[in-house]
Amino acid sequence: MNRRLFQQFLAAGLSAGALLPGAGFAADALPLPLPVIASFSILADLVRVVGAGRVSVASLVGPDEDAHVFEPKPADAKAIVQSRLLVVNGLGFEPWAQKLARAAGYKGQTVVASQGVKPRGMADEKGHAETDPHAWQNPLNVILYVRNIAVGLAKIDPAGASAYQANAEAYVKELQALDSWTAEQFAAIAPARRKVITSHDAFGYFGAQYRIGFLAPQGISTEAEPSAKAVAQLIRQIQREKIKAVFIENMSNPKLLTQLSRDAGVSAGAALYVDALSAAGGPADSYLKLMRHNVTQLAAGMRQS
């Protein structure tokens, strides 16, 4: 979001927050279900799993939307103020979220879901060090996410603490099973064929966990504009290494990758779901379905290389 627009929004958000009831409410002021807001759709799904029937979850950045380029509206400030808990990813993924909360006059609790994750570092096109925020691409990191969410929910709803912990630990078993299943899908694929081209560089944690090389014309953020030189180098690498696994992401503009695929003489595969779920009823409308969809598509693409 550009600075001028955000400054205009802050003024509107502060006014909205000042007029709304509920800022700084007492711990027992609202009945169940407790209103919780997450910064983006994947986090919202995790909160639904842990909170179950004790929470009502909304997402600032919805399915198929891009958190990297999200621009909050005054209605988003109202949604935050009316919530009992704000859940964000952290690691620099959504710097607008904390600004929005302050602008809205939010007085409630905030959970940084990635707390405790060992962050991956990477360099941008200019060689500057950056933190990769896409930690949820490793299911074992999501174990930390759901446990952090359970702790946060218990702080605002002590009566539900045991339920939140039980829900989180049940989901941990599903995440561990997902990790094992994912490793099995790639086990039969030779390391030399485990190379993939995606829209932006969001699979660092996934690649490290399952020993897959990911290349992207864009950097960590979809706001990045790759240079013509970088794109040309990538095309040569695709041709030299005969990489056939090329994928567009659901929340990205497909123009760049479509052109790159055409110039390199390869066909793009099915959409991957990376920073956002699909709409309800789609192939990736939960975190577990998202991961299984991506793994299935990635494995199929790599087998063609």
**What is the reported pTM?**
0.81
Say whether pLDDT at 45 is over 80: yes
Distance, in Å, from the CA atom of 214 to the CA atom of 205, rounded to the nearest integer, reads: 10
- Rounded CA separation 236/279 (Å): 36
CA atoms within 13 A on the CB side of 141: 24
Residue 214 — pLDDT band, cuts 50, 70, 90?
Answer: confident
User: Residue 52 in contact with residue 163, Cβ under 8 Å?
Assistant: yes
Outline which parts of the chain fall under CATH 3.40.50.1980: 3-176, 187-303
Q: Which two tokens stand for residue 53?
A: 């029937």
> Distance (Å, rounded) from C-alpha 258 to C-alpha 223?
17
Per-residue pLDDT at 199: 63
| Encoded amino acid at 46, one letter | L
Say yes or no: domain 3-176 is CATH 3.30.450.40: no
Q: What mean pLDDT do residues 120-134 have?
A: 78
Written as one letter, the residue type at 210 is Y
Q: Report the 10 Å Cβ neighbour count for 167.
A: 22
Helix (H, G, I), strand (E, B) or coil at 181: helix
pLDDT tens-digit series, residues 97-125: 989 999 999 999 999 999 999 999 876 65
What pLDDT score does 264 carry?
66
pLDDT value of position 220 = 40
What's the rounded mean pLDDT across residues 260-286?
A: 82
State the residue for tokens 């007029």: 19
Of the pLDDT bands very low, low, confident and very high (cuts 50, 70, 90), residue 303 is confident
For 187-303, CATH gives 3.40.50.1980
